[in-house]
Amino acid sequence: LNAAGMSVALIERKLIGGTCVNTGCIPTKTMVASAYAAHLARRAADYGVTVSGPVGVDYKAIKARKDKVSGASRTGLETWIAGMEKCTLYRGHARFESANTVRVGDELLTAPKIFLNTGGRASVPDLPGVHDIPYLTNSSMMDLDVLPSHLIVVGGSYISLEFAQMFRRFGSEVTVIEKAPRLTGREDEDTSAAIQSILENEGIIVHVGAGDIAFARKGNEIAVTFSADKPPAVGSHVLLALGRVPNTDDLGLDKAGVEVDQRGFIVVDDQLRTSVPGIWAMGDCNGKGAFTHTSYNDFEIVAANLLDNDPRKVTDRIEAYALYIDPPLGRCGMTEAAVKKSGRRALVGQRPMTRVGRAVEKGETQGFMKILADADTGEILGCAVLGPGGDEAIHCVLDLMYAKAPISTLARAMHIHPNVSELLPTIAQELKPLD
């Protein structure tokens, strides 16, 4: 909007850059890199490399590195914003007073176009004893300056598992407690099982199918009960990773007439317009995605419609995301379960990483690759790559899906050897009916 010549007021109540820059992608992946370095150093002998003495971890140095990388990103954004003409940064809590008026402290701002991208925060369910303990969330984990002796992670999805493996590699004992029957419940069962195996192979204790979860102090430690048949897990720190809620409850949306659903997400149409003309909602607060890339794509959709007369819409995009454990999971399109539910005839191809040369050479053979295609049309329906470089290799398939190229295009492609993604065409040549 600023580049298009419009005057812009940008309002931020806390830190420029939001979750991704300050408590999400950038700091956590910086720490994941430190955890990988520690893990690889411990495995040095597997590669014929000698390390004299045990591998140690300086957690304060890890945190300092994370803070430096995250801080540089935030500073870069602040400098960029300050350099914009006709753009004013307001620091404070914005609340609607009408459909086109927003108050920030003593300032009352009026505009014909208002864009909401207020993000989300960790959900803290009212579980027994939860308010009697000093629990951590993904945000407060970023401020932790001591290494937990035993970290108990409550929740078994993406954020929780990244932290679980990361801190295990830093040297903490780690226990994961998940209420559902398996980890990462939105994935296929074989993917969930492989993820659990990867974590357990590193000494992480995993409990799934947990019953009534409750918390209590036990001296200087915290006890988490989760089953009548098993003793409580007792640890030094507890991380709650039980989902996210949108930051929409204190914006005065009712005064603007903006509709929200039962979970608090702002209701938007396929071009991200809210129920009130002149107000759009992007990012985590609209329930259409919970990633930095979906938030950025939301911006692209709004800008295309508003500035370029380009009728882009949310339903044009293909679901894609990654789980940043090591090895990472790259995912796009439909799962096996979703394909079966759709009722369409499908083909599936799969190959374990033990049969991928690049993975063998790297000594990282956990995981597998899987591709799904429509048996009648050849349309590529989905893909999962759990293995080294899976978060990058997945784009081979994702881009073909956007191009609407059939599976035969992938089957005939020549990929570079030696590479993890070189086996994707081979898998595409070996598809079999999905049972």
Question: Is 417 considered catalytic here?
Answer: yes
- Tell me the three-class secondary structure of the chain, residue by residue: CCCCCCCEEEEECCCCCHHHHHCCHHHHHHHHHHHHHHHHHHCHHHHCCCCCCCCCCCHHHHHHHHHHHHHHHHHHHHHHHHCCCCEEEEECCEEEEECCEEEECCEEEECCCEEECCCEEECCCCCCCHHHCCCECHHHHCCCCCCCCEEEEECCCHHHHHHHHHHHHHCCEEEEECCCCCCCCCCCHHHHHHHHHHHHCCCCEEECCCCCCEEEEECCEEEEECCCCCCCEEECEEEECCCEEECCCCCCHHHHCCCECCCCCECCCCCCECCCCCEEECHHHHCCCCCHHHHHHHHHHHHHHHHCCCCCCHHHCCCEEEECCCCCEEEEECCHHHHHHHCCCEEEEEEEHHHCHHHHHHCCCCCEEEEEEECCCCEEEEEEEECCCHHHHHHHHHHHHHCCCEHHHHHCCCCCCCCHHHHHHHHHCCCEECC
> Among 39, 150, 293, 417, which one carries the catalytic annotation?
417
Catalytic residues: 417
